[in-house]
Amino acid sequence: MKNKGKTAWFVRLRWASQTIFMLLFLWLFFQTAFHAGSTAGRGVDLFFDLDPLALLTVWVGGHAAAAAMLFSLITLAVTFIFGRWFCGWFCPFGALHNLVSSWRSGTASAKVKTGGFSHWQHSKYFVLLAVLVAALVGANLVGLLDPFSFLFRSLTLAVFPAFDAGLEHFFAFLYRHDFGIGGLHIAAVSEPIYRWLHYYLLTVGQPRYFWSILFGVLFGLAAILNLFRARFWCKYICPLGALLGVAGRNPLLRLEVDPALCEDCGICVTECQRKAMEMAPL
C-alpha cells in the first residue's frame, strides 16, 4: 500500500492508452455508418487485422488469410515478450469492462474475494477450443464471440440504432414545441446542431435490425456482470484473451514480488487487469 503512489503514473498511463484506443475504435466504427457526409472509410478493419484469433480461425477454416491480417503476428510477438499487454492496454472492449468494474461497491476485502483468481476462469479456454473446432467445420463462432466482433455487432445492431433514434426523437421534440421566451426560441439553436449531427453522425434512415433486442440484452448483460465479478467477460468468456493467455504464459519480461515488501493484502490481485499475479484459488 505504501508504494502505491509510485505506480500511480503507470496506472494513469494505462487508462490513457485504453481511452485513446476506445475512442479510435468508436471513430472507425462511425466511419462505417452511412450518413450524408460519409466518405470512404480507411483502416476501419484495423482492430480486426491486429486480432490473432481472427487470423487463426480464418486459417483453420480455409488455410488462407488476407495479407493485412498478418499484422496480428505483431500482437503475438509482443505478447511473447510482455505477456497479455494487448488486453490491458489496447482492447476497447476490455476498456469498457474495466470501466464498469471500477463502479463496483463494497469493502476492499469483498473486492479481493470477488476479484481474485477462480478455477472458473479456465472456462474461456473451452470457449477458445469451441471457436477453433467450429472454424474447422466451417462455422463462424469467432464472428460472435471475438471481443471486437461482439462489440462491433452490439454497437451496430443495438447501441447505435438506439442512440440514433434517441437523438432523432429528442430534436424532433424540440422542433415541434420550440420552447422560447419572447423572440428567443430553442429551435434556432437546436436545428443547426441537428443538421450538423445529421450530416456527420446520424444515419440516412433509421437503422432497424431483427436481432437488435437480443444483442442489446447480451451487451447489457456482459457489462452488468462486471458489477458482480470484475472483468467478467475477460476472465470467463473471452476466447481472444484465452489465446493471448496461452501465448503470453511465460513472457520474457514479467513482474516479480519482493517478499520483504509484500503485505499479502491482495489488492494487487484485484487491481491487475491481466492476472499477472494470482492468489490461492477461490
Digit-coded pLDDT (tens) for 220-236: 999 999 998 888 999 99
Q: Which pLDDT score is estimated for 239?
A: 96
Q: Is 218 exposed, middle or buried (0-12, 13-18, 19+ CB in 10 A)?
A: middle
Q: Is residue 281 pLDDT above 50, yes or no?
A: no
Q: Say if residue 26's pLDDT is above 90.
A: yes
Question: Count of CB atoms within 10 A of residue 208's CB?
Answer: 9
Q: What is the pTM of this model?
A: 0.83
* Residue 73, pLDDT above cutoff 60: yes
Query: 176: alpha, beta or left, given left = phi > 0 and alpha = psi -120 to 50?
Result: alpha
User: What's the sign of the alpha-carbon dihedral 32, 150, 15, 48?
Assistant: negative
Each residue's pLDDT tens digit, 153-186: 999 999 998 998 899 999 999 988 888 777 788 9
Query: In this structure, what C-alpha cell is assigned to residue 279?
Result: 492468489
Q: How far apart are CA 132 and CA 234, in angstroms?
A: 18
What is the DSSP code (8-state) at residue 194? Answer: H
Nearest Cα neighbor of 128 from 51, 241, 273 is: 241
What does the alpha-carbon distance between residue 235 and residue 245 come to, in Å, rounded to a whole number? 11
How do the domains of the chain map onto residue ranges?
4-271
